[in-house]
């Protein structure tokens, strides 16, 4: 890390133009063109519908949901099948760019909060974070918090760039991969995607130092944020 680099605390990072103005996930829908389906390989509405075969109610938490288009599309899907009473959809984003929820949609709510400060009050069957972790400071804490909010058979899936995490000033360190492996978090390096069904993930052992919002563009071609940790040897 350059001696000129200023690391931001979480309460400072949320005011960064790089974070507040990011547009990576603002307009994506659940399925079809420019969608979650293209990122994660399945349609969220179909995945949730399948879960209803074995449980009475399903819950989806979409973190860094942008305008909430994906959630709205899924809400309309279940409304058309008269299944809103069996589905609960929650969208969380740092900035309130949410589209209005139509009066006939009763299964969806939006909340304005940072990932780190938001505290879930229940378990979720599906938790997604599509290109949201690029703009989070303490990314590893966010991953632990979100995975620990899964239901017993839930699924967490998110875009994640290993190069954005620096441990003892080095990116792409084996320590993060080891932490993933220890907690059954699958990292697909070619897709830069993580997923797990483990809802008992211990925190990363390193101390979070802060975030660099001047890291430049990441693999998406958009400005992103790097996280820095100190791990005692």
pLDDT at position 3, please?
44
CA torsion through residues 179, 204, 216, 28, sign: positive
Question: Which of 159, 191, 202 is closest to 64 using CA atoms?
Answer: 159
pLDDT at position 173, please?
84
> Using an 8 Å Cβ cutoff, are 21 and 93 in contact?
no
Mean pLDDT of successive 10-residue segments in the chain (233 residues)?
73 88 70 84 95 96 95 97 98 93 98 92 96 96 97 97 95 93 96 97 96 94 95 85
- Segment 14-19 long-range contacts (CB within 8 Å, at least 24 positions apart): 14/94, 14/114, 16/213, 16/225, 18/135, 18/213, 18/214, 18/223, 18/224, 18/225, 19/94, 19/135, 19/213, 19/225
Alpha-carbon gap, residue 198 to 182, rounded angstroms: 11
**Helix then strand then coil, % of the chain, to nearest 5:** 25, 25, 50
pLDDT at position 127, please?
98
pTM of this prediction exceeds 0.85: yes
Pick the CATH number of 10-230 from 3.40.50, 1.20.1270, 2.170.120, 3.40.140: 3.40.50
Burial class of residue 227, CB neighbours in 10 A (0-12, 13-18, 19+): buried
């Amino acid at each position: 890390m350059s001696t000129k680099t200023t690391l931001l605390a979480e309460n400072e990072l949320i005011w960064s133009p790089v974070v507040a103005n990011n547009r990576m996930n603002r307009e994506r829908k659940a399925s079809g063109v420019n969608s979650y389906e293209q990122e994660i390989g399945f349609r969220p509405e179909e995945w949730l519908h399948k879960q209803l075969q074995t449980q009475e109610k399903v819950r989806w938490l979409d973190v860094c949901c942008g305008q909430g288009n994906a959630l709205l599309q899924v809400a309309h899907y279940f409304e058309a099948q008269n299944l809103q009473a069996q589905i609960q959809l929650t969208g969380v984003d740092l900035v309130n760019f949410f589209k209005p929820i139509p009066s006939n949609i009763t299964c969806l709510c939006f909340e304005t909060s940072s990932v780190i400060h938001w505290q879930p009050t229940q378990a979720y069957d599906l938790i997604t974070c599509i290109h949201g972790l690029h703009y989070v400071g303490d990314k590893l804490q966010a991953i632990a918090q979100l995975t620990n909010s899964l239901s017993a058979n839930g699924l967490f899936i998110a875009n994640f760039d290993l190069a954005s995490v620096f441990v003892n000033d080095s990116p792409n360190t084996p320590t993060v991969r080891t932490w993933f492996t220890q907690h059954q978090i699958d990292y697909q390096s070619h897709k830069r995607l993580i997923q797990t069904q483990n809802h008992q993930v211990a925190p990363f052992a390193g101390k979070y130092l802060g975030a660099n919002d001047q890291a430049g563009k990441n693999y998406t071609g958009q400005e992103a944020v790097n996280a820095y940790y100190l791990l005692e040897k």
